[in-house]
Amino acid sequence: MINFNNVKIIKKIGAGMFGIAYLVKYEDNKYALKIQKILEKQAKKNYNYEIWRELDLYKYIDKLNENDQLFFMKLYGYEIYDNCTRKQIRPIKIDSKIDPNDKFSQKIKKMDESLWCIKFLLEYKGNLTLEKFLFKNHELKTKQIYSIMLQIIKIHMILYKGGYSHGDMHAGNIMINKTNKNILC
């Protein structure tokens, strides 16, 4: 059982529309901590809510063979809080664009006002995303392009086999694993 009171934040490593990721230290090891605002009704286990489907995905990942697990972050623990005062920091400024007639804007407003959140303690795979890798390496070799494509296809195959899909697959959400092991299909 993870004691989230003993998790020490080192620095922010990313932010999305609904959550923030931090590099943290816990029991002398480094992890990623994802804090995501939720609504009170989402705190009760119900697979209509994304957080419960995500937690189910982590259970599926734990059952994969070791080679397939390399494509995903391991979940070490999670906890739901009803007193979360941390403010959401987004990659783009949208707070001033809250439209009372837009359902997405209203969802963001409700999430921001909510005191409920979920914290995930995850494996830290470094901070090299595919987006950063592509930005640094303007001219990739054919083998590199082929390898990247095969690995993304492999991720989708693993998810599909388990009955899952990824609704936020983009270059900023794909981590580059540093390994000398061949993990292609």
Q: Residue 178's pLDDT is what?
A: 58
Asked if residue 32 and residue 99 are part of one domain, the reply reads yes
**One domain for residues 15 and 56:** yes
Q: What percent of the chain has pLDDT over 90?
A: 51
Identity (one letter) of the amino acid at 61? Answer: I
CA distance 87 to 112: 7
Question: Are the CB atoms for 35 and 117 separated by under 8 Å?
Answer: yes
28-67 residue pLDDT tens? 999 999 999 999 999 999 999 999 999 999 999 999 999 9
What does the pLDDT look like over 73-124, one tens digit per residue?
A: 999 999 999 999 888 777 666 655 566 777 877 788 888 889 999 999 999 9
Domain span holding position 162 = 128-185
Report the CATH number that the domain containing residue 17 is assigned in CATH: 3.30.200.20
Q: Count of domains in the chain?
A: 2
Same domain, yes or no: 23 and 94: yes
pTM for this entry: 0.84
Same domain membership, residue 59 and residue 133: no
Domain boundary, last residue among 98, 127, 156: 127
pLDDT computed for residue 99 by the predictor: 67
